[in-house]
């Protein structure tokens, strides 16, 4: 299958009809799988009400079938069609953060495909804050199930080029709306129990949520090894580069010793750092991932950097740690998973 690219200049004009979006929407109505930009990462979309269409997503990505999908909607009417009842606090979160990078887990209605929910009684829903995504969902007039548009296990795509690298020939097309904004997947919050729990950290932080609903718990498995994750998909390997990556909690001198030792063993070494420190390292490949002083820029370029290390064929990547605050929590969660939980501590 030849994968089509539908270029759409973003921002889109709401009053204009874009033939590219209409064409992509028609493919969704026909049960095909289409990748599209959101403000977090690129999504791999299909009709959430069709078993056949949703199964095509799992085939294209090689995703395990017990890992549920997030359904993307463009308006409240679509929400009422998917979920049974909406607790008051969930409504407050929607009013505060939608459209935006927050996925709410709610009790599902029966007709949502069991392949979307992985057989659970709940469904994850979000309204993306991206004009191209919203225009596409409006145009096909369907709720769109969409995981990240990468091969399962790889870093999520933040550009149409990343999607093409992973899925060329496996899907009908990609709507190219440029680079995504946030760069990390949505915050996922379980609203199906009395006390809401964050299952996956994202750019909507626990502090921001507590400003709206006072109490929220955070699933400890998001940063602790040996804790069983509360969300089914979280147990899988994620965001991994081809090389072994290690987070290093130590100063630059300590990281240099690690680099030196590994190079002596004939290994090609990558370092993942930020603009502030990049000139201080001598390694085979040194990549600056945004600015430490502005963590949102680190989030935005993290996955692109991990993919660049793959292109450079490094053997080992040493990665600086980030402060565990604000979006830093989500950055550390993704890095920790990308490293397969490996953290090297100085002095240990």
- Please answer whether residues 149 and 93 qualify as being in contact, where contact means their C-beta atoms are separated by less than 8 angstroms: no
**Looking at beta carbons only, is 233 or 250 nearer to Mg ion?**
233
Q: Can you tell me the distance from the alpha carbon of 96 to that of 206, in angstroms, rounded to the nearest whole number?
A: 14
Minimum Å gap between C-beta 324 and ligand AMP is 21
| Closest C-alpha among 133, 142, 35, 8 to residue 82 | 142
Decide if residue 122 touches ligand AMP (CB under 6 A). Answer: yes
Q: Segment contacting ligand AMP (CB under 6 A): 120-128, 158-166, 211-219, 246-254?
A: 120-128
Sign of CA dihedral 259, 262, 268, 272: negative
**Looking at beta carbons only, is 129 or 185 nearer to ligand AMP?**
185
Q: Can you tell me the distance from the alpha carbon of 193 to that of 107, in angstroms, rounded to the nearest whole number?
A: 10
Backbone torsions φ then ψ of 26, nearest 5 degrees: -60, -40
Question: Binding partner of residue 234 among ligand AMP, Mg ion, none, CB under 5 to 8 Å per kind?
Answer: ligand AMP
Instruction: Give the residue closest to ligand AMP by C-beta.
Output: 233
**Looking at beta carbons only, is 246 or 334 nearer to Mg ion?**
334
Whether the link from the prior residue into 201 is cis, omega within 30° of 0, is no
Q: Can you tell me the distance from the alpha carbon of 174 to that of 279, in angstroms, rounded to the nearest whole number?
A: 37
**Looking at beta carbons only, is 122 or 148 nearer to Mg ion?**
148
Q: Which residues bind Mg ion (CB under 5 A)?
A: 148
Residues with Cβ within 8 Å of 29's Cβ and at least 6 positions away in sequence, in order, are 47, 140, 142
Upper half-sphere CA count for residue 331 (Cβ side, 13 Å): 28
**Looking at beta carbons only, is 154 or 246 nearer to Mg ion?**
154
Minimum Å gap between C-beta 267 and Mg ion is 29
Q: Which of 28, 105, 204, 247 binds ligand AMP (CB under 6 A)?
A: 105
What would the x/- binding string for ligand AMP be over residues 159 to 198, using CB under 6 A?
Answer: --------------------------x--x----------
The alpha carbons of the chain give a radius of gyration, in whole angstroms, of 20
**Looking at beta carbons only, is 61 or 246 nearer to Mg ion?**
61
3-state secondary structure of 255: helix
Question: Binding partner of residue 155 among ligand AMP, Mg ion, none, CB under 5 to 8 Å per kind?
Answer: none
| Closest C-alpha among 244, 267, 238, 137 to residue 259 | 267
Cα angle for residues 198, 194, 49 (degrees, 5° grid): 70
CA distances from residue 134 to 74, 138, 321 in whole angstroms, order as listed: 5, 6, 35
What would the x/- binding string for ligand AMP be over residues 43 to 82, using CB under 6 A?
Answer: ------------------------xxxx------------
CA distances from residue 26 to 136, 172, 309 in whole angstroms, order as listed: 10, 11, 37
Minimum Å gap between C-beta 147 and Mg ion is 5
**Looking at beta carbons only, is 27 or 231 nearer to ligand AMP?**
231
Minimum Å gap between C-beta 43 and Mg ion is 9
What would the x/- binding string for ligand AMP be over residues 4 to 33, using CB under 6 A?
Answer: ------------------------------
How many residues line the site for ligand AMP (CB under 6 A)?
Answer: 19
Q: Can you tell me the distance from the alpha carbon of 202 to that of 103, in angstroms, rounded to the nearest whole number?
A: 10
List interacting residues with ligand AMP (CB under 6 A): 67-70, 105, 117, 120, 122-124, 147-148, 185, 188, 199, 231-234
């Amino acid at each position: 299958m030849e994968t089509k690219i539908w270029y759409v200049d973003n921002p889109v004009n709401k009053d204009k009809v874009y033939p590219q979006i209409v064409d992509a929407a028609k493919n969704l109505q026909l049960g095909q799988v289409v990748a599209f930009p959101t403000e977090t990462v690129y999504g791999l979309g299909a009709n959430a009400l069709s078993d056949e269409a949703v199964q095509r997503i799992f085939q294209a990505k090689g995703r395990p079938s017990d890992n549920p999908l997030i359904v993307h909607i463009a308006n409240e009417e679509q929400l009422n069609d998917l979920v049974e009842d909406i607790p008051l606090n969930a409504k407050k979160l929607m009013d505060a953060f939608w459209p935006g990078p927050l996925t709410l887990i709610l009790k599902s209605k029966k007709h949502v495909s069991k392949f979307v929910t992985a057989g659970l009684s709940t469904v994850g829903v979000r309204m993306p804050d991206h004009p191209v995504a919203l225009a596409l969902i409006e145009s096909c007039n369907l709720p769109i199930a969409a995981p990240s548009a990468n091969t399962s296990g790889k870093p999520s795509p933040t550009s149409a080029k990343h999607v093409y690298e992973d899925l060329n020939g496996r899907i009908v097309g990609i709507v190219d709306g440029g680079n995504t904004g946030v760069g990390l997947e949505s915050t996922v919050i379980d609203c199906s129990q009395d006390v809401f729990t964050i299952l996956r950290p994202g750019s909507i932080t626990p502090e921001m949520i507590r400003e709206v609903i006072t109490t929220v718990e955070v699933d400890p498995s998001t940063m602790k090894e040996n804790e069983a994750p509360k969300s089914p998909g979280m147990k899988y390997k994620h965001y991994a580069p081809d090389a072994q990556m290690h987070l290093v909690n130590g100063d630059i001198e300590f990281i240099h010793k690690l680099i030196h030792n590994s190079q002596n063993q004939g290994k090609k070494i990558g370092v993942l750092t930020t603009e502030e420190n990049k000139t201080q390292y001598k390694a085979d490949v040194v990549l600056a991932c945004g600015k430490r002083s502005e963590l949102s820029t680190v989030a935005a370029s993290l996955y692109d950097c991990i993919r660049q290390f793959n292109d450079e064929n490094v053997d080992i990547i040493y990665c600086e740690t980030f402060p565990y605050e604000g979006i830093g929590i989500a950055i550390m969660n993704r890095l920790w998973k990308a490293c397969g939980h490996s953290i090297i501590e100085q002095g240990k």
